[in-house]
Amino acid sequence: MAVREIVRLDNPVLRKRALKVTAFDNSLQRLVDDMLDTLDKAEGVGLAAPQVAVPQRLIIVRLGDDEASREEYGEDAGKLFVVANPEYVKVSKKQVEGVEACLSIPGFFGTVDRHEEVIVRGLDRYGKPQRIKAKGWLARVFQHEIDHLDGRLYIDIASDVWSEKDIEEAEAEKAAAAQEEQQSAQS
């Protein structure tokens, strides 16, 4: 097991449709283990194989497992989902807006509409068929990761994108304005 480099926006593998997983051999098991180590080190909730420069249709998803996550996500908290060749069986008509980020685009965030619920089918790490019903945050993460397999990034569908720098500048402006207001009130 090893931590792999997460490729960035400029790597063309992120913009290509990934290839179907056909072999569930030791090489795939090593990739899954490496992706999990990489996800843990990056403190993320999802990772697609193209993000570690492997053009295969493979994703891993794992929500947090702390007390707050267990309260919010219930039985999905901390559960590891490994899905090869994922595809949607059903998506809800209702979409919800939410904020997303991506390990391949560090320092940026975006507002994205996603289906509130999805049912995904695919194969587990050993090639056994599985079906996963996801709602809320878990559904959002699945959609984000499956998009990676089709060469699509959240910034392609976001209604707004901003950086950490934008947030810092806005907070600095707000603090300066508050300080000015306080000084004016004292004079």
What pLDDT does 176 receive? 67
What pLDDT does 43 receive? 93
pLDDT, one tens digit for every residue, the chain (187 residues): 799 999 999 999 999 999 999 999 999 999 999 999 999 999 999 999 999 999 999 999 998 888 877 887 788 878 899 999 999 999 999 999 999 999 999 999 999 999 999 999 999 999 999 999 999 999 999 999 999 999 999 999 999 999 877 676 666 667 666 777 777 777 6
Q: How many CB atoms lie within 10 A of CB 165?
A: 10
What pLDDT does 77 receive? 78
Contact 71, 90 (CB under 8 A): no
Distance (Å, whole) CA 122 – CA 109: 29
Nearest Cα to 48, choosing from 156, 153, 136? 153
What pLDDT does 56 receive? 98
Q: Does the active-site annotation cover 145?
A: yes
Contact 74, 37 (CB under 8 A): no
| Domains defined for the chain, CATH in brackets | 12-99+115-153 (3.90.45.10)
Nearest Cα to 73, choosing from 131, 135, 120? 135
Q: Which of 145, 164, 168, 171 is catalytic?
A: 145
Sequence letter at residue 37: D
